[in-house]
Amino acid sequence: MIEARNITKFFSIVNEDRTADGITAVLSVSLTIEDGKIVSLLGPSGCGKSTFLEILGGLQAPTEGSVYIDGAQVLEPLPSTRKEMDEYRRKYRLLSPLANGLIKNRPKHDIAMIFQDYAVFPWMTVLQNVKFTLKLRGIPRREREPVAMTYLRKIGLADSLNKYPSQLSGGMRQRLALARALAVQPRIILMDEPFAAVDALTRERLQDDLLRLWYETGITIVLVTHDTDEALYLSDEIVVFSPNPGAIRNRFAIDCARPRRRSDPELLALKERITSLFKYDINHESEYSI
């Protein structure tokens, strides 16, 4: 179970005229995600979805609030008092709070993450990419190749083992990212707009692949997307974010039975409701800006 309690993230920035300023990317977001569910975070760009997801994954520390995965805190929150700050500075003088350790690979939580721009390592071949993540997870050397092969076969990359990511199409690169994430057999996968950069046909195939693997493994998936259809087709619950500051606007549970049809009337009706939300947002904004 993932529990986000009152997450707020504030970025200080410096304006062009050198005055200090800040952005509240996420404002007191609380969210509980049950095991084995697919939950989509939906919203226009700039509403703090990626930031929130990275906080869930422990890649950024929240300004306030904390995230618990199965009861264990993901990252300690940033200090708020001066005394705490001094302590924090002393503690993290040499290694950043994000570090897993100096020498020994050791994941903090059973998470895998997939990014929009793939972030597979261009200097490793397809097989090396998967084997590398297995190595990071402490899988013994001899077992790495068979495990990697199993997942690469499952995802249809068995023919491209020795290719480099630059030689793959966008869809194949995202498959590789998926294989790499699944191979470590995580309990949670965080995905940041994973299918946004591929063409529509490939996207639908990737979505179906994802669902198939989800049926098999029963992992928890948190999916950031700005594509309403994708969210409707895949998720058990849609959490709609609104911008300025990023916050939860609405939550929709989807009870529609699986396997779903993309043109299911129930989904279409829900789509209507969600899009009208965004429309309202846009009108609302223009009211103020004019």
Partner 1 sequence: MNKYETKGARSAFRLALRELGYFFKGAAMNIFSLEFLMVLIPLLGLWELLPRMGVVPRTLVPPPSDVAVAAWDMFTKHNFLKDIGDSMLKFFMGLGIAVITAIPIGVLMGWNIAMRKRALPLFQLLAPIPPPAWVPITIIFFGIGLPMQTFLIFIGAFYPILFNTYQAVKDTEPRYLASARVFGASELALILHVYFWHALGAIIMSVKTGVAMGLVMLVIAEMYGGRTGIGYVLVEAKDYFQISKMVVCMVTLGVIGWFLIEALKFIELKLAVWKVGR
**Residue 147 near partner 1 by CB under 8 A:** no
Q: Out of 8, 40, 50, 228, point to the residue binding Mg ion (CB under 5 A).
A: 50
Q: Is 55 exposed, middle or buried (0-12, 13-18, 19+ CB in 10 A)?
A: buried
Under DSSP, is residue 198 helix (H, G, I), strand (E, B) or coil?
coil
Q: Which does 48 bind (CB under 5 to 8 A by kind): ligand ADP, Mg ion, partner 1, none?
A: ligand ADP
What is the closest distance, in whole angstroms, from the C-beta atom of residue 274 to ligand ADP in the complex? 16
Closest to 62 in 3D by CA, of 24, 91, 21: 24
For the CB of residue 61, give the shortest distance to ligand ADP in the complex, in Å. 12
Q: Which is nearer to ligand ADP, 23 or 78 (CB)?
A: 23
Among 13, 20, 72, 103, binds partner 1 (CB under 8 A): 103
Q: Where are the beta strands (DSSP E) in the chain?
A: 2-14, 20-33, 38-42, 64-69, 72-73, 111-114, 188-192, 220-225, 237-242, 247-253
Pair of tokens at residue 230: 């994708």
189 phi-psi bin (left φ>0, alpha ψ -120 to 50, beta other): beta
Q: Is 225 in the site for Mg ion (CB under 5 A)?
A: no
User: Judged by CB under 6 A, does residue 222 bind ligand ADP?
Assistant: no
Would you state the structure tokens that stand for residue 150, as one six-digit string? 């199993």
The reply on whether position 51 binds Mg ion by CB under 5 A is no
253, 216 contact by CB (below 8 A): no
CA–CA separation, 137 vs 131, rounded Å? 10
Nearer to ligand ADP by C-beta: 1 or 196? 196
Contacts of 113 (CB under 8 A, 6+ apart): 53, 57, 59, 181, 189, 190, 191, 192
Out of 25, 126, 177, 198, name the contact with ligand ADP by CB under 6 A: 25
> Judged by CB under 6 A, which of 4, 8, 38, 48 binds ligand ADP?
48
Binding to partner 1 by CB under 8 A, coded x per residue (else -) over 27-66, reads ---------------------------x--xxx-------
Among 1, 36, 46, 236, indicate the residue that binds ligand ADP (CB under 6 A): 46
